[in-house]
Structure 1
Amino acid sequence: MMLLPKLSACGLAVGLVLAAPAFAHDEILIKAVVENTGGDNAIAIGHGCEDTHLPIRAQSVVFPTKNPELIASDGHTITDLSEIIGPSVYAGQVDTIQDRNIFNKQHEKHDKLGNAIGFYGMDGRLGTTLQGRVPFQFTAPGFAATSCATALKIEVAIADICDFTAPTIQAGKVNLWIPDNGSQYANLGGPQNIDGIGEPPIFQVTRNLTTNPLPNGCGAGFTVTVRPSAADVDAHLGIPGWHY
């Protein structure tokens, strides 16, 4: 008579484990937004530096900037992002939300025109096995009415830093959730088997096909991947006291 309650409790425990969210790596918490909308979002940190069991002490985040890589799903060449989202230079507008849950110091990254291109946090501590949330606000761009694009898939480059001592690009000192597209960070980190290279977080801006339908002749349209270039990553991923 005691067997059934034990089995039920065991089944419940398994169900809770299966239902619990788990992030194998850094992700964008809200993975899809509609064009011309804005709201709060967050970087979801999956774990610290597992090889050394060190906590994350700093984080650097870079969004695609002036010269991103543009990859159309149908294979055609896109020469400028303005073909897809009109006069906007960027794949959106990012703003930092003040939050000291993980990092005591927060700063935005800006280009020469003062546009926000990312952010970083320092003086923090996130345990190796714990998940973290780093909030930010994102305003999605609108699609050009003449474009056949149905969605932007935006890749974000992120470094989670556990140890600032040189040499900095080593497994157990940093996780690099960045494109594997020729940056110094990727080139140095690849042979070190650093976690995350080639696995940048991705989130999507979708076209509102009701208010902004595709032009005649577009068929089903295409999607566009917007990726920080190697030059973007090399120029902007580093933060005070840490770089490749």
Structure 2
Amino acid sequence: MMKLNKSLLTVSIASTALLAVASQNVLAHTRLTVTSTIESSSAHGTSDTAVNVPHGCGDNPVIGNVFFLPDTNTAPLVQTSTDNFQTFETPEGANALNYIVNPPFIRLIKSRDVFEMQDLINDPLGNPLGFWAAGGELPPSNWVAQLPFKITAVAIQPDSCANKVVLVPAIANVCKLTTMAEIDSSDSDNPNVDFWTAPDVGSSFDAPSWSYPATYTIERDLANNPLPESCGEGLAVRIIPSAEQVNRDMPVKIDGQQVWPLP
């Protein structure tokens, strides 16, 4: 795995809090329709949301989409902050399950409004982390696609200092079937694919360094799960897919054969 350039990652993703206030700018980016929820220990609780795709890649329509959440089993990047990600650190040896009780999974909502084909992306244990969709198209402009799904309820570790946990999914809007050699993830005007992944984590599918990915925030229920007294005002925690996971889960396979990127 490539070594993380944490300074670049800091600048790129820390801009989320600042840029999110510019609503007109945000509308141009691939985001989730529902971006936050209160924590819940309910084993069967879920929240409805959707991947909101606002445009194609330049003049090319979107012909497929890939979405997945961080896999807590592949040592995701865990970052903490005391000032809402204006500054943050990456605690050595930090584990996602130090801050959340249970990993987040998805339940896919059956829909053919945009794409005819959908399938789940599972972790090595068979748990659904995301999905891919294809077999249709979103015109390059003046149309918006929404790909609905559910995220399972997540509880925050009672003995942790996390007052919120931000999950950073990896998303790609595929506009043309190409080989890996034709994918330049650093090119913001790439007509073949539009990446919304964390920049510079070392995967083959990192977003351009100026970009910042979508987020899904789990707020601590302070009434029923108060912070330990030693935590003060607590920490904001961010969990990002590792390069290992992104390289594993981003390629689309149908019946065991990789169809994107083309072999």
Q: Which residue of 1 aligns with 2:69?
A: 63
Q: Which residue of 2 aligns with 1:106?
A: 118
8 Å contact from structure 1 (residues 84, 143) kept in 2: yes
- Deviation for aligned residue 1:22: 6.7
Q: Which residue of 1 aligns with 2:97?
A: 82
8 Å contact from structure 2 (residues 178, 261) kept in 1: no
Q: Cα gap change, 1:76/1:173 in structure 2, threshold over 3 Å: closer, same or farther? A: closer
Residue 177 (structure 1) aligned with residue 199 (structure 2): no
Residue 31 (structure 1) aligned with residue 35 (structure 2): yes
C-alpha distance in 2, partners of 1:57/1:106? 12
C-alpha distance in 1, partners of 2:164/2:31? 18
- Deviation for aligned residue 1:140: 2.6
**Could you tell me the TM-score, scaled by structure 2's length?**
0.76
Q: Which segments of 5 or more consecutive residues in structure 1 lack a partner in the other structure?
A: 1-18, 191-195
Local SS of the residue matching 1:223? strand
Q: Which segments of 5 or more consecutive residues in structure 2 lack a partner in the other structure?
A: 1-22, 83-88, 185-189, 254-258
C-alpha distance in 1, partners of 2:80/2:178? 40
> Which amino acid is 1:26 matched to?
T
Residue 222 (structure 1) aligned with residue 226 (structure 2): no
**Could you tell me the TM-score, scaled by structure 1's length?**
0.82
Q: Cα gap change, 1:126/1:197 in structure 2, threshold over 3 Å: closer, same or farther? A: farther
Count of matched residue pairs:
214
Q: Cα gap change, 1:76/1:105 in structure 2, threshold over 3 Å: closer, same or farther? A: closer
- Rg: which structure is higher? 1
State percent identity of aligned pairs: 27
8 Å contact from structure 2 (residues 165, 238) kept in 1: yes
> Which amino acid is 1:58 matched to?
G
C-alpha distance in 1, partners of 2:138/2:245? 27
C-alpha distance in 1, partners of 2:178/2:94? 40
C-alpha distance in 2, partners of 1:93/1:83? 17
Q: Cα gap change, 1:47/1:72 in structure 2, threshold over 3 Å: closer, same or farther? A: same
Q: Cα gap change, 1:185/1:197 in structure 2, threshold over 3 Å: closer, same or farther? A: farther
